[in-house]
């Protein structure tokens, strides 16, 4: 099994992984982390429970400048519940850096409170496509400093009819950002999304499905 210590992560980040008892990389982490940390766009496919969150969270944290108080990473998730889970995992992994602010922005919650939170500043936003689109349209969410865009559970987002919202959001992200697409399956829509919004993506597919 591969060790996180081979990745060139900051010693503080390795210490946090030890605290969380992440002693070895899962197969999807071992396959995708070297590519994502090197700056490649990625299409990564692996079953649920395989550790995909850390596979995108560690690269986006590595690119983050904690002293720049603007949104540098955005994660799109299919549901509020999944967005909360992803935000929690990012917060745990972000303990190595000072005061990283992670905000969840999902529908069903009051808009006003989210706008106030955004005004106070956030480094990372995690949310559902419709609500993120709403904030971008109102300019409560500004993406000019965005370095990382993540589409998590992309197959489920497509099942839920989010293709157009995802396209709209991705087309409002700066062209120089890194895009990481994670999915449990690989339907046609994923290839269409990737062709439109990823740049020379590396593909990582783990066959072990059951």
Q: Which residue stretch of 51-59, 133-141, 142-150, 160-168 sits at the interface with ligand ADP (rule: CB under 6 A)?
A: 51-59
The answer to whether the CB of 157 falls within 8 A of the CB of 187 is: no
Interacting positions 63-92 with ligand ADP (CB under 6 A): none
Closest CA to 147 of 81, 80, 56, 78: 56
Contacting ligand ADP (CB under 6 A), which of 13, 50, 72, 179?
50
40 part of the interface to Mg ion, by CB under 5 A: no
The answer to whether the CB of 177 falls within 8 A of the CB of 199 is: no
Distance CA 120, CA 137 (A): 19
Contacting ligand ADP (CB under 6 A), which of 7, 9, 22, 123?
22
Interacting positions 144-183 with ligand ADP (CB under 6 A): none
Rg (CA), the chain: 16
135 part of the interface to Mg ion, by CB under 5 A: no
Q: Which residue stretch of 8-16, 20-28, 66-74, 104-112 sits at the interface with ligand ADP (rule: CB under 6 A)?
A: 20-28
| Smallest distance, ligand ADP to C-beta of residue 183, A | 10
183 part of the interface to Mg ion, by CB under 5 A: no
Torsion of CA 29, 33, 35, 39, to 10 degrees: 140
155: helix, strand or coil: helix
54 part of the interface to ligand ADP, by CB under 6 A: yes
In sequence order, the β-bridge partners of residue 149 are 74, 179
Q: Pick between residue 48 and residue 99 the one whose CB is nearest to ligand ADP.
A: 48
| Smallest distance, ligand ADP to C-beta of residue 63, A | 19
Distance CA 120, CA 135 (A): 15
Which residues contact ligand ADP (rule: CB under 6 A)?
22, 25-26, 29, 48-54
């Amino acid at each position: 099994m591969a060790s996180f210590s081979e990745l060139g992560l900051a010693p503080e980040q390795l210490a946090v992984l030890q605290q969380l008892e992440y002693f070895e990389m899962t197969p999807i982490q071992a396959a995708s982390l070297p590519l994502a940390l090197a700056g490649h766009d990625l299409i990564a496919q692996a079953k649920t429970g395989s550790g995909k969150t850390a596979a995108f969270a560690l690269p986006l944290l590595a690119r983050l400048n904690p002293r720049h108080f603007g949104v540098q990473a955005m994660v799109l998730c299919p549901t509020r519940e999944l967005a909360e889970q992803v935000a929690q995992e990012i917060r745990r992994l972000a303990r190595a850096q000072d005061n990283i602010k992670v905000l969840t922005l999902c529908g069903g919650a009051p808009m006003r409170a989210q706008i106030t939170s955004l005004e106070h500043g956030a480094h990372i936003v995690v949310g559902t496509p419709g609500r993120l689109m709403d904030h971008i349209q109102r300019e409560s969410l500004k993406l000019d400093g965005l370095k990382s865009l993540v589409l998590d559970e992309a197959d489920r987002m497509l099942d839920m009819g989010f293709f157009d919202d995802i396209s709209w959001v991705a087309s409002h992200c700066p062209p120089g950002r890194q895009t990481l697409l994670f999915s449990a399956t690989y339907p046609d829509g994923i290839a269409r999304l990737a062709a439109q919004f990823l740049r020379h993506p590396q593909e990582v597919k783990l066959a072990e499905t059951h």
